[in-house]
Amino acid sequence: MTTAAHAPTPTAPTGRRRAGNRVLLYAFLISLLVVFALPLLWALSSSFKARGDIFAYPPQPLPLPGTLANYRGLLDGQPYRSWLVTSTLVAAISTAAAVGLCSLAGFAFAKYRFRGKNLLFNIMFSSLAVPFAVIVVPLFIMVAKAHLTTPYFALVVPWVAPAFGIFMMRQYTEQSVPDALLDAARVDGCTEFGLFRRVVLPLLRPALGALGVWSFLTSYNSLIWPLIVISEPGDYTLPLGIQALFGATSRQYDLVLAASVLAAIPSLLVFFLLRKQLLEGLTAGAVKS
């Protein structure tokens, strides 16, 4: 008669050591959470304080008494709604263009063979090493000569086909879209664009979500480019408008904090709507079966 072999159970010291390591890990992560959350909580609390109470000493964790005067002064005395609409609309258009163009370019680089493919990809990839501030002047000259200085066109141009997005989609397409599946669709009579739309895009959903979040936040938070192409206060984006609240002589910290809290709402909504795709896209390829 034979007896089934059982896996050895961990000894008590080993179990206690693992539990101790887990406690230390959780304590470290919670401390990081506190470090990152404190400035955000302070900004939220201070947005309900009078200007004189923001820098009171000792600091007041809670707004006592709280006031909505900062938000009323921001919405009634500043063109904040216009800034918010401009930033959100530009970010949405930029994100849609980036997701569409980058997925197409990534699919082409991953699954098609054409002359100069590697050279073109290397040139595109090398542009990631160039800081945006270096290409600002040439980019502005190109936009001006193309007569695309209308605020919405000019604000969208730098973000429609980012090199990082193309690289990300190319890598994800290579890993997630098997060639045999594409060949089977072609045998069934599917056109190349139909192949992309019906077969490839559903498989790229996690990467598209991650790229969408990244593109939206990049465009939404941009300051240098709008500062160059926008001259009229009515066309300001949120970063420009918030910067203008500092003024030349006075620092309107109460309005700045209120504006910053409201400005975070679209970003948070995009993150929560696409958080599942974002996490799947960022962790794709991290674990191999």
**Residue where the block lists tokens 């559903």:** 202
For 24-29, the CB contacts below 8 A with 24+ separation are none
- Summarised one tens digit per residue, pLDDT across range 90-146 is 999 999 999 999 999 999 998 888 888 889 989 888 888 888 888 888 888 888 888
Identify whether the C-beta of residue 99 lies closer than 8 Å to the C-beta of residue 215: yes
- Confidence (pTM): 0.80
The domains found in the chain, sorted by start residue, are: 27-67 (no CATH), 80-283 (1.10.3720.10)
Residue 196 gets which letter from DSSP?
I
Compute how many other C-beta atoms are within 10 angstroms of the C-beta atom of residue 161: 16
Q: What is the pLDDT of residues 86-96, one digit of tens each?
A: 999 999 999 99
CB 69 within 8 A of CB 129: no
Q: Contact at 8 Å (CB) between 118 and 183?
A: no
